[in-house]
């Protein structure tokens, strides 16, 4: 249950935060969001509209980074409960 909540919050943060300064220039050709992730994105936009905010546009590159970060957190457990650039593990390529 906690892992699911972590995934949701990290995905939300990934969508709301600006794109990174450095990183992979091209997305993998097979990258796509699953139905749950698309539904979460839609719910976020519904909530934004409820509070008088503009809808967000879905960003494939930002979604890829968010998904990669969640996978890193779940696999390598680098989380120290302080989210930032240091919340990535040292296991990346």
DSSP letter for each residue of 20-34: PSSS-SS--TT----
Answer yes or no: is 5 within a domain. Answer: no
How does pLDDT run across 52-73, given as a tens digit for each residue?
Answer: 999 999 888 888 888 888 888 8
| pTM above threshold 0.85 | no
Residue 87 located in a structural domain: no
pLDDT band at 89 (very low <50, low <70, confident <90, very high): confident
How many domains in the chain?
A: 1
Confirm whether 83 is domain-assigned: no
53 lies in a domain? yes
pLDDT tops 90 at residue 1: no
48 domain residue, yes or no: yes
Q: Which domain holds residue 57?
A: 34-78
pLDDT in tens, 22-34: 455 676 778 888 8
Specify if 91 maps to a domain.
no
Cβ–Cβ < 8 Å for 20, 75: no
């Amino acid at each position: 249950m906690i892992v699911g909540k972590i995934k949701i919050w990290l995905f939300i943060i990934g969508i709301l935060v600006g794109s990174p300064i450095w990183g992979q220039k091209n997305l993998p050709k097979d990258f796509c969001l699953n139905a749950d992730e698309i539904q979460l994105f839609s719910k976020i936009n519904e909530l934004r509209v409820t509070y008088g905010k503009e809808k967000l546009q879905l960003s494939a590159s930002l979604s890829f980074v968010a998904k990669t970060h969640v996978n890193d957190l779940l696999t390598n457990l680098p989380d120290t409960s302080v989210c930032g650039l240091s919340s990535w593990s040292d296991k990346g390529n």
